[in-house]
Amino acid sequence: MRLSEYELCSSSDGSFTLYSKHYGECYHSLKDGALKEALAKHVTPAFELVQKPHVRILDICFGLGFNTLATLYHIQADSRIERVEIFTPELDQLLLKGLLDFPYPRELEPFRPILHELIHQGRYEDDRVRIELYIGDAREYVHHLEAIDIVYQDPFSPKKNPILWTVEYFEDLYRAMSGDGVLTTYSVATPVRLGLDEAGFLLYEMPAREVRPGTIAAKGPLPLKPIDMEAKRRRTSAKALRDDAVVDPTYNLRHSDGQT
């Protein structure tokens, strides 16, 4: 791990994460815990809502790979899931190389050989799992995807990486998702919820667990508490983010060699 770009941080559940000097933000919530966040904000609620034998997941973005690896951890104990396909973009090749010796929590350690194969080959496949790690821009990548059942919407914050939180981007996700697809995100920000709503999603409160709850978005009705977006719109002057109005701090990354 090149310490000049990233700093190793300990989070509340004992798992380690990184702080990115480029974005000025941690890859996970130190308060919730990196592993707990992956499981409680993304993997567990998504698999409770999507009960299919064959599940296609879009993990935005790979980062340290916690959401992808926590998915493998989760499905170990669920024999109803016959096949999982994970599609995950990541811009930062320097980060990916550094992950080969990252101190993952005990629960994710068994998947280190899969991580190695992903980083070296960009793909992994066995009888039950297929993973594609796309080195490049998530905005480009989503155009090539379809019939996605679960989206883990887990970029850096809207303040730090707004291009992955705009209405236009959410519209692309909407098109890439199956009719009963769900999206999980840690964000509860009003501009984010307005953007998801404008893109056509129905919004729900994430059931409270041991972590601070986020938002769940879906194309169709879910057995969760809906968020009243009509009332929200009446009460706020906040606006959804749009491509032409955001400054994109990753522009140089997205149009160069993918290194931070």
- Name the phi and psi angles at 124, rounded to 5: -145, 140
Least separation, in Å, of the C-beta of 200 and ligand SAM?
22
- Taking the C-alpha atoms of residue 93 and residue 102, their distance in angstroms, rounded to an integer, is 15
Report how many residues bind ligand SAM under the rule CB under 6 A: 23
- Name the phi and psi angles at 98, rounded to 5: -70, -15
2's tokens: 């090149």
- Is residue 188 within 8 A of residue 215, CB to CB? The reply is yes
Q: Does 64 bind ligand SAM (CB under 6 A)?
A: yes
Least separation, in Å, of the C-beta of 217 and ligand SAM?
17
Q: Does 56 bind ligand SAM (CB under 6 A)?
A: no
Stretch 146-165: interaction string toward ligand SAM, x if CB under 6 A? --------xxx----x--x-
Residue 72: left if φ>0, alpha if ψ -120 to 50, beta else—which one?
alpha
Comparison of 135 and 222: residue with beta carbon closer to ligand SAM: 135
Least separation, in Å, of the C-beta of 69 and ligand SAM?
8
Least separation, in Å, of the C-beta of 102 and ligand SAM?
10
- Is residue 33 within 8 A of residue 13, CB to CB? The reply is yes
Least separation, in Å, of the C-beta of 258 and ligand SAM?
9
Comparison of 154 and 172: residue with beta carbon closer to ligand SAM: 154
Least separation, in Å, of the C-beta of 260 and ligand SAM?
7
119's tokens: 């980083």
Q: Which long-range contacts (CB under 8 A, 24 or more apart) does 137-141 make?
A: 137/89, 137/91, 137/254, 138/60, 138/61, 138/89, 138/91, 138/164, 139/163, 139/164, 139/169, 139/172, 139/254, 141/87, 141/89
Stretch 67-106: interaction string toward ligand SAM, x if CB under 6 A? x---------------------xxxx--x-----------
Comparison of 47 and 66: residue with beta carbon closer to ligand SAM: 66
Positions that interact with ligand SAM (CB under 6 A): 27, 38, 61, 63-67, 89-92, 95, 137-139, 154-156, 161, 164, 250, 254
